[in-house]
Amino acid sequence: MEQGVIKFGKNLVSTKECLAPGHSFCPGCAEALTIRLVGKALGENFIMAMATGCDEVCTTPLPYTSWRIPWLHTIFENAAAEISGVEAGLKIMIKKGKMPDKKIKCVAMGGDGATSDIGLQALSGAFERGHEFLYICLDNEAYMNTGIQRSSATPFGASTTTQPAGKVSSGQPTWKKNVPAIAIAHDIPYVATACPSYPFDLMNKVKKAASIEGPSYIHVLSVCPTGWRIPSNMTITLGKLAVETAVFPLYEVESEKYTLNVKPQKLRPVEEYLKPQGRFRHLTPELIEKIQHRVNVEYGRLLAKVSTE
């Protein structure tokens, strides 16, 4: 790994890269940026288990790999189960004196399909058993790797290849599944949301999650220019708009205490977030207002939890 640090204001950022050049991520992919930021936050002492998805396909085209850390690929449904086995195995090896008692963080990554749909059972089981690991969901809001099919994380009104907008449909008919709330319901020590448009917030949350005993979960909004039908240079802007409109608030829950990490003085209209995206171009003013109302209600609920802690 490359050595050194770079100073950004008051923040020192490692120049080490867990991801080598030569991967095949699309231009502007927020997942590639997130992986780099996670690596900078964790350093070298971590093991990664990754579910099938864009990240696996783009970083490990046989016989090559872009990973500079121990990395395991698994199928869609069991990334959390696999990293649970790794974590348990490391503990046994240390207990038997077969390896030094060195802090090695176990990390699993999966997309929204591998997290909120196919792999939810394995993730729930790992949380319930109390394994010490960090799970990061890279949520680009559809099955982007296989053709932009809808997932349970696809937002209401978005047009996908399996739920296209047209004369008889307005796109996705259901609301986005709240996976952070599901993680919180497991009473695990740490849950957070993050977005690479706010890199220091993301890295600080990864560092905090890595320092906590027991399971932790970070849900990352990962803007996808291809699936969201936006120019590749709008990735950071769209991520910020998601936060500034409260479509995707940045918060963390530690020992049942809610903290809102970014609180805009005045929320921008949801329409500013929706309009640049081709997947929402069909929305009528009535549907946009329906989404605005939903966002207002959910954000109000979050603020109530923050203010009462």
- Picking from 234, 237, 269, 263, the residue whose alpha carbon sits closest to that of residue 250 is 263
Which residue type, as a one-letter code, is found at position 196?
P
Residues of the chain with pLDDT > 90, as a percent, come to 84
Give the pLDDT mean for 211-235.
Answer: 96
As given in the structure block, the two tokens for residue 37 are 């930021």
Q: How far apart are CA 212 and CA 56, in angstroms?
A: 27
Q: How far apart are CA 57 and CA 52, in angstroms?
A: 7
Least confident of 13-22, 25-34, 43-52: 13-22
Which pTM value belongs to this model? Answer: 0.95
Domain that holds residue 61: 5-308
Contact 118, 77 (CB under 8 A): yes
Q: How far apart are CA 252 and CA 23, in angstroms?
A: 31
Q: How many domains does the chain have?
A: 1
Residue 289 has pLDDT above 90, yes or no: yes
Contact 73, 82 (CB under 8 A): no
Q: How far apart are CA 197 and CA 201, in angstroms?
A: 9
Give the pLDDT mean for 93-103.
Answer: 88
Q: Select the highest-mean-pLDDT range: 18-27, 89-98, 147-156.
A: 147-156
Residue 110 has pLDDT above 70, yes or no: yes
- What's the pLDDT at 208? 96
- Picking from 117, 121, 109, 127, the residue whose alpha carbon sits closest to that of residue 31 is 109
3-class DSSP assignment, residue 136: strand
Q: How far apart are CA 84 and CA 82, in angstroms?
A: 5
Q: How far apart are CA 309 and CA 302, in angstroms?
A: 11
Q: Give pLDDT tens digits for 61-93.
A: 888 999 999 999 988 999 999 999 999 999 999
Residue 292 has pLDDT above 80, yes or no: yes
Q: What is the arrangement of strands in the sheet containing 134-139, beginning at the earlier edge strand? A: 71-73, 46-50, 105-111, 134-139, 216-221, 190-194, 251-254, 257-260
> Do you know the residue count of the chain?
309
Residues of the chain with pLDDT > 70, as a percent, come to 97
Kind of pairing, strands 71-73 and 134-139? unpaired
- Picking from 250, 263, 260, the residue whose alpha carbon sits closest to that of residue 218 is 250
Q: Give pLDDT tens digits for 159-188.
A: 999 999 998 899 999 999 999 999 999 999
3-class DSSP assignment, residue 154: coil
- Domain CATH for 130: 3.40.50.970
- What's the pLDDT at 3? 58
Q: How far apart are CA 287 and CA 263, in angstroms?
A: 26
The DSSP secondary-structure symbol of 186 reads T
**With left for phi above 0 and alpha for psi between -120 and 50, is residue 75 left, alpha or beta?**
beta
Give the pLDDT mean for 53-59.
Answer: 92
